[in-house]
Structure 1
Amino acid sequence: MVTKDLGMDRRVRRTKRLLKYALITLMNEKSYEQITVTDIVEHADYNRATFYRHYNQKADLIKEIITDQTNGLIQAFKVPYKKNNYIHLNALAPSEIVIFNYIIENKYFYALWREFEAIPGFYETFLQSITRFFKQDINLITPYHDGLDNNMYTSFYAYGILGIILDWIKNDFEQSPDYMAKQLCKIINYYPAESFITGNT
């Protein structure tokens, strides 16, 4: 019974992966609004019944894609913290920052950023998820300024780092991931703060 369930889980994951890949591929050819469920299933070589077994509508599929990528970005940000037992933010070395490598590895998604921005609610959902992670799971300690609002300081870091990432994406990944990691380290050290990931993660 367990083996059967595992096989079913694998089939579900494979089906969803192919449906997501189909939608992303189609977005290279036409706008999200122009893409139909029929387009998606034909590209993935499935039928409509298979699609509706997993999603109620096209919007549910795109939402899951966005959630996958948001979670992946957060996990990539956590990598150096986990590797170094949650050391301080400004103690990270450029070689330990993998978030830019993650984006390049998932370039098929991020290269379509402008197309995704045209989807109602995408930008807000993506940014809210990332900033929520910073505010809830990253605790910045600011010993340099008594009375400084930690929530505001965290927002400053969150939007600043996100701004760097989004600017890089919108400039078609002009610089290498290594260059971006080095620049991020320089910027973080220019505005020193200590930080750690809380137990909420």
Structure 2
Amino acid sequence: MSHTAQTDLRIRRTHKFLQEAMIELIAEKGFEAITVGDIAERAMINRATFYRHYQDKYDLVAGIFEETANYLMEHMNPMHKDPAEKEAEIPPEIWVQFFEHVADHARLYKAMLGNNGSPWFAARMREHTIKLMLEKEKSMKQLVAPDTLTASAMPEGLALTQLSHVLIGTIVWWLESEKRYTPKQMATWFHRFAFYGYLSALGSETPTPRKK
């Protein structure tokens, strides 16, 4: 193994130790109460080593978010859904993948989005999911004829913001229920809510869900 490869491996290992320490400490005492000293002690490194990698605990949280956000963007497949399909019971694959990712990183999301977590992380998650929703929005709008819009439509930005809060709340509820439901079930329920609630908020006369 080359010296560069060994250095990269040490950096990744240090980042992993620090991130794991952060997640454990958030669950135990809450994000606001955590100090750099706490993180370094739990990760079994000295403070100087911490500051070689991160400026402070907020920078560490930013690093955790960037890794998870990059994973989502790199590994999620495009949505595949027949534009003529008006049934909200079959969620696009992108939402199934999203909830599968949350399940795979349950400790992270439960710590960072829960009552003891980081409001900054939650806000960044909402911003990121809005980007996903903007992509989904294109396919949803194809399902509604322009002449079905009503005069009661709310601003699009407000509808997206509300929906992003719903998604984060759904994730927290799911993780706190110890994931008794599958990622596909959660994706289906969230998509059903988004399909009807979001389009209705934008002033579209959406169809009533059909029973199987």
Assess same fold via TM > 0.5: yes
Q: In the aligned structure 1, how far is the partner of 2:81 from the partner of 2:125?
A: 25
Counterpart check, 1:178 vs 2:184: yes
C-alpha displacement of 1:186: 4.6
Q: Secondary structure at the match of 1:27?
A: helix
| Alpha carbons 2:40, 2:46 under 8 Å: kept | yes
Q: Report what 1:131 is aligned to.
A: 130
Q: Could you tell me the percent identity over the aligned residues? A: 25
C-alpha displacement of 1:23: 0.9
Q: Report what 1:54 is aligned to.
A: 53
Q: In the aligned structure 2, how far is the partner of 1:145 from the partner of 1:138?
A: 17
Q: Report what 2:169 is aligned to.
A: 166
Q: TM-score, normalised by structure 1?
A: 0.70
Summarize the alignment of residues 90-109 of structure 1 with structure 2, pairs less than 5 Å apart.
96=93, 97-109=96-108
Q: In the aligned structure 1, how far is the partner of 2:10 from the partner of 2:90?
A: 40
| Alpha carbons 1:41, 1:51 under 8 Å: kept | yes
Q: In the aligned structure 2, how far is the partner of 1:179 from the partner of 1:30?
A: 32
Q: CA RMSD in A?
A: 3.5
C-alpha displacement of 1:187: 4.9
Q: Which runs of 4+ in 1 moved over 6 A?
A: 89-92
Q: In the aligned structure 1, how far is the partner of 2:131 from the partner of 2:192?
A: 24
Q: Report what 1:87 is aligned to.
A: 80
Q: TM-score, normalised by structure 2?
A: 0.67
- Unpaired segments ≥5 residues, structure 1: 194-201
Q: Secondary structure at the match of 1:111?
A: helix
Aligned residues: 181
| Alpha carbons 1:134, 1:154 under 8 Å: kept | no
Deviations 1:56-83 (A, max 9, x none): 112110121122233334456x23x2xx
Q: In the aligned structure 2, how far is the partner of 1:120 from the partner of 1:189?
A: 27
- Amino acid across the alignment from 2:138: L
Q: In the aligned structure 2, how far is the partner of 1:188 from the partner of 1:29?
A: 34
Q: Report what 2:30 is aligned to.
A: 31
Q: Report what 1:146 is aligned to.
A: 146
Q: In the aligned structure 2, how far is the partner of 1:133 from the partner of 1:184?
A: 14
User: Residues 33, 12 of structure 1: CA spacing in aligned structure 2 closer, same or farther, 3 A cutoff?
Assistant: same
| Alpha carbons 2:130, 2:160 under 8 Å: kept | no
C-alpha displacement of 1:163: 1.5
